[in-house]
Amino acid sequence: MWVLAARFDLHVGSATSLKDKRRVLRPILDGLRSRFNVGAAEVDGQDLWQRAGIGVAFVGADAAVLRRALQQVERFVAQHPGLEILDVTESLYQTDDDLQ
């Protein structure tokens, strides 16, 4: 089993308040969960108006499939108006598959 964790560092240039930022982030987080069936949450910058960190987690049997899914997720996030992706970091883990 493979686990891919990704963190998106975002600039929400259109936000003038925390409420504005949440208005931009909510459809992204909801869309990630429903469209891609991944775990997604705001993980950093909760108290900043124009910065946000979004964490996304994938679980699967094939690392290559997870990386392709991450590319699709990155395109999905990038197409939303009002924000810019500053950085994407990823960590890939393999768990022990010896089930007893």
30-65: pLDDT as tens digits: 999 999 999 999 999 999 999 999 999 999 999 999
Pick the CATH number of 2-94 from 1.10.10.10, 3.40.50.10190, 3.30.70.1120, 3.40.718.10: 3.30.70.1120
Q: Cβ of 70: how many Cβ atoms within 10 Å?
A: 20
Instruction: Provide the residue ranges of all domains of the chain, joining segments of one domain with +.
Output: 2-94
Give me the pLDDT at residue 58, please.
95
Q: What percent of the chain has pLDDT over 90?
A: 91
Give the separation between CA 61 and CA 97, rounded to whole angstroms.
10
Please state at what angle helix 18-36 crosses helix 63-78, rounded to 10 degrees: 140
